[in-house]
Amino acid sequence: MSAHPKRTGADASAPRFSTISDMEIAPLYGAGDLPADPSVIGGPGEFPYTRGPYPTMYRGRPWTMRQFAGFGSARDTNARFRFLLAQGQTGLSTAFDMPTLMGYDADHPRALGEVGREGTAVSTLEDMIELFDGIDLAAVTTSMTVNCSASIILAMYFAVAERHGVPMAALGGTIQNDMLKEFIAQKEWICPPEPSVRIIIDMIEFCTREAPRFHPVSISGYHIREAGSTAVQEVAFTLADGIGYVDAARGRGLAVDEFAPRLSFFFNLHNDFLEEIAKLRAARRLWARIMRDRFGATNPRALMLRTHAQTAGCSLTAQQPLNNVVRVALQALAGVLGGVQSLHTNSMDETLALPSEQAVMVALRTQQIIAEESGVTNTADPLGGSYAIEALTSRIEAEAEDYIRQIDAMGGIVRAIELGFPQKEIAEAAYHFQRQLDRGEKVMVGVNKYQLGDEPPMDLLRIDPALEERQAARVRAFKQARDQARARDRLTAVRRACRDGENLMPPLIAAVKEGVTLGEICDVYREEFGVYRDPAWL
Amino acid sequence: MKPQRTLRILVAKPGLDGHDRGAKIIARALRDAGFEVIYTGLHQTPEMIAEAALQEDVDAIGLSILSGAHNTLFPAIIRLLREKGAGDVAIFGGGIVPPEDIARLKADGVREIFTPGAATDEIVAWIRANILPRGY
């Protein structure tokens, strides 16, 4: 790829102006940089949705303020949820701990040292009940960031909703459930790509029928960017993953106009202000064209890319952490000017620990200031028609489309992942950026420029080390208290569905209700589908 | 004095999280700096890492931890190496580790911990100044 062109010739010593992705920027853009045909851009709420999915954008409906939260026990996280709702947050977003994300119960040896540390610990339906205790699941939408064990967490969520008297059809929310980007970037997995995609398609099929307000997958560029990709790679690999899911769902016989409206997206908001705004606009336009031209979608909701976004964790610095408040505000503003539907703003202390209550409140207030003080929400896509923004939008779209063509030529995204193509492209970009930082060609304020010697410590959130043993004991007691024969039968039914291709969701819901744990079901996945191992490409 | 041979370094990623951006960048930077580098890949247990260190006969192990499990994983790896008679393999690390944990881990035998923002050149310079091939 030509992402990082070698500089040769007479101008090699001239100053170079490029985005954080190292895309060169012209000194001035003008009318000649706009598409000749205005329908290439279109209007807000019009194909190809460059200017946003809705005609009135934030005048009609503000974005959802959704702070990602989870630490310690389910009870600890439930208290944080209630705090955030009391502060004016409008949706929930759940972070699970590493054992939950990788399909191990809290009492498993591989969970040692990790329980409740990067999110909340959920091994059983009892934990899930506690997590959502006292929260009106018919009134809030809940996002759950979980992937290889997502099918079990979703089954538990449906079981909790049933106990609250809320039918599946009334539940709104999103489960991340994007395994293709796990193999590419975030790297939490159980089984190889093919069975992983099969489980996802089971969930899409089930939700389309039974929980039509729920988004069964959130196709995520966030982690691709965090792993070090460029903005173009983020768009390209995310949409290539989306193509992979649409292909697989159509292969199951699902109609694109029926299931595609429930596909949602998740992008990163990094430091480069104009590039990020253009990236979101490019992603919407390219997706609309792909859905129409490649898949023949006609339902407008199947064509429009709707997205959550989160400010870039990797842009935050441990040095002079108060500066992170400013970074997050700029990134969030780029997201709003780029037209996102839902937003998480990172907390200033997140390079040091999970966020404290005070830090998370400043992050939420940042969104509220943008929404209610800045005035940028008064008109749809205020930067539409800007020469620079439209030029960057077209360029990111074209370069992302090039990548997608390369992936098509390899035989699709699953094959490209098996070949390590996106993984290696991202590692290359990450290394390139690190070398630019080391040479001072790119600046991180407080890190490679404007450093301070001594810095005052911040008050950080600490996880009680005794939590782990308490949680493990709780799981052991839960397993002893259930009806063992019935739990065994339910687990056998899950195994049967793994083998014969029956949709996994009904037996999973029945299993978690009977006390089968997340780790036990993931053990069945490991036995039936095999275990994926990191190819450890450098 | 014997001529000093090239250092062999195992870059290892213990724990359940998949944050391998740092580990991969360090592995490449160390290789570019002329060291022999072996990268374990993700999701390694302490046993797997100690075993790989012995099999590959390395002089040092660089551990990348961003999951918050450093207080469990570093000491477990050091203990296993000592049990296997390889207590002289130098251990260093990087990741999100609070200052008070760094002090405790150094007391347990971790030689250095690099936190977010460390430049690769700084890490290479530290290795050159502080790590000798085993047996020298």
* Locus of tokens 């790509």: A193
Cis amide prior to A48 (ω within 30 degrees): yes
pLDDT greater than 90 at residue A126: yes
Three-state DSSP state, A216: coil
Q: Do B42 and A448 touch (CB under 8 A)?
A: no
Q: Do A117 and B42 touch (CB under 8 A)?
A: no
Could you tell me which residue, A113 or A530, shows the higher pLDDT?
A530
Provide the terminal-to-terminal Cα distance of chain B, rounded to the nearest Å. 9
- For residue A37, the model assigns a pLDDT of 96
pLDDT greater than 70 at residue A5: no
- For residue B2, the model assigns a pLDDT of 54
Query: Within an 8 Å CB–CB cutoff, is residue B103 touching chain A?
Result: no
The candidate with the shortest Cα–Cα distance to A104, out of A138, A45, A72, A148, is A148
pLDDT greater than 50 at residue A2: no
Mutate one of B9, B10, B20 to test the A interface: name it (highest A CB count within 10 A): B20
Residue type, A262: R
Query: Within an 8 Å CB–CB cutoff, is residue A112 touching chain B?
Result: yes
Strands A92-95 and A142-145: parallel
Query: Within an 8 Å CB–CB cutoff, is residue A146 touching chain B?
Result: no
Strands (E), B13-66: 36-39, 60-65
Q: Do A438 and B119 touch (CB under 8 A)?
A: yes
Is A15 in contact with A373 (CB distance < 8 Å)?
A: no
Domain span holding position A129: 44-438
Query: Within an 8 Å CB–CB cutoff, is residue A443 touching chain B?
Result: no
What residue in A sits closest to B75 (Cα-Cα)? A113
The model's pLDDT over A375-426, given as tens digits with 9 standing for 90+, comes to 999 999 999 999 999 999 999 999 999 999 999 999 999 999 999 999 999 9
- Rounded CA gap, B108 and B89, in Å? 14
Domain-embedded: residue A52: yes
The candidate with the shortest Cα–Cα distance to A130, out of A175, A160, A103, A169, is A160
Calculate the average pLDDT of chain A: 95
Q: What is the CATH number of the domain that holds A412?
A: 3.20.20.240
Q: Do A457 and B67 touch (CB under 8 A)?
A: no
Three-state DSSP state, A232: helix
Three-state DSSP state, A151: helix
Residues A227-249 have a mean pLDDT of 98
pLDDT greater than 80 at residue A323: yes
Which residues does chain A have within 8 Å of residue B68's beta carbon, measured at their own beta carbons? 113-114, 117-118, 353, 463
Q: Which H, E and C letters describe A291-325, residue by residue?
A: HHHHCCCCCHHHHCCCEEEEECHHHCCCCCCCHHH
* Locus of tokens 């310690």: A72
Distance set, CA A90 to CA A26, A60, A82, A154, A345 (Å): 40, 16, 11, 21, 13
Distance set, CA A173 to CA A118, A162, A219, B75 (Å): 22, 15, 14, 41
Q: Which of residues 47-66 of B touch A (CB under 8 A)?
A: none
In total, how many domains does chain A have? 1
Which residues does chain B have within 8 Å of residue A440's beta carbon, measured at their own beta carbons? none
Tokens encoding B116:
């977010």
Name residue A135's beta-bridge partners: none
Residues A4-21 have a mean pLDDT of 70
Residue-level length of chain B: 136
Which residues does chain A have within 8 Å of residue B45's beta carbon, measured at their own beta carbons? 110
Tokens encoding A537:
């490409």
* Locus of tokens 């997706």: A287
Which residues does chain A have within 8 Å of residue B115's beta carbon, measured at their own beta carbons? 318
The model's pLDDT over A43-80, given as tens digits with 9 standing for 90+, comes to 999 999 999 999 999 999 999 999 899 999 999 999 99
Cross-chain CB nearest to A538 (options B17, B27, B121): B27
Contact partners, residue A408, CB within 8 Å, separation at least 6: none
- For residue A455, the model assigns a pLDDT of 82
* Locus of tokens 């899911």: A245
Q: What are phi and psi of A430, to 5 degrees?
A: -65, -40
- Rounded CA gap, A516 and A124, in Å? 7
Contact partners, residue A188, CB within 8 Å, separation at least 6: A98, A101, A102, A147, A148, A182, B16, B17, B18
Calculate ∠ Cα A407-A411-A416, nearest 5°: 50
Is B93 in contact with B63 (CB distance < 8 Å)?
A: yes
Domains of chain B, by residue range, sit at: 8-130
The model's pLDDT over B77-123, given as tens digits with 9 standing for 90+, comes to 999 999 999 999 999 999 988 888 999 999 999 999 999 889 999 99
Cross-chain CB nearest to A117 (options B24, B40, B69): B69
Q: Is CATH 3.10.20.600 correct for B8-130?
A: no
The model's pLDDT over A281-297, given as tens digits with 9 standing for 90+, comes to 999 999 999 999 999 99
Which residues does chain B have within 8 Å of residue A98's beta carbon, measured at their own beta carbons? 15-17, 67, 69
Residue A169: which pLDDT band, with cuts at 50, 70 and 90? very high
Residue A465: which pLDDT band, with cuts at 50, 70 and 90? confident
Residues A204-228 have a mean pLDDT of 97
Q: Do A226 and B40 touch (CB under 8 A)?
A: no
**Sheet of strand B8-12, all strands in order from the earlier edge strand to the far edge:** B36-39, B8-12, B60-65, B90-95, B112-114
Calculate ∠ Cα A455-A461-A465, nearest 5°: 120
The model's pLDDT over A328-368, given as tens digits with 9 standing for 90+, comes to 999 999 999 999 999 999 999 988 888 898 999 999 999 99
Q: Do B96 and A227 touch (CB under 8 A)?
A: no
- For residue A31, the model assigns a pLDDT of 97
- For residue A1, the model assigns a pLDDT of 41
Domain-embedded: residue A29: no
Mutate one of A110, A112, A468 to test the B interface: name it (highest B CB count within 10 A): A112
- For residue A308, the model assigns a pLDDT of 96
Domain-embedded: residue A100: yes
The candidate with the shortest Cα–Cα distance to A191, out of A201, A205, A179, is A179
* Locus of tokens 């985005």: A19
- Rounded CA gap, A518 and A377, in Å? 42
- Rounded CA gap, B17 and A533, in Å? 13
Helix/strand number for chain B, H first, E second: 5, 5
Provide the terminal-to-terminal Cα distance of chain A, rounded to the nearest Å. 18
- For residue A13, the model assigns a pLDDT of 65
Three-state DSSP state, A490: helix
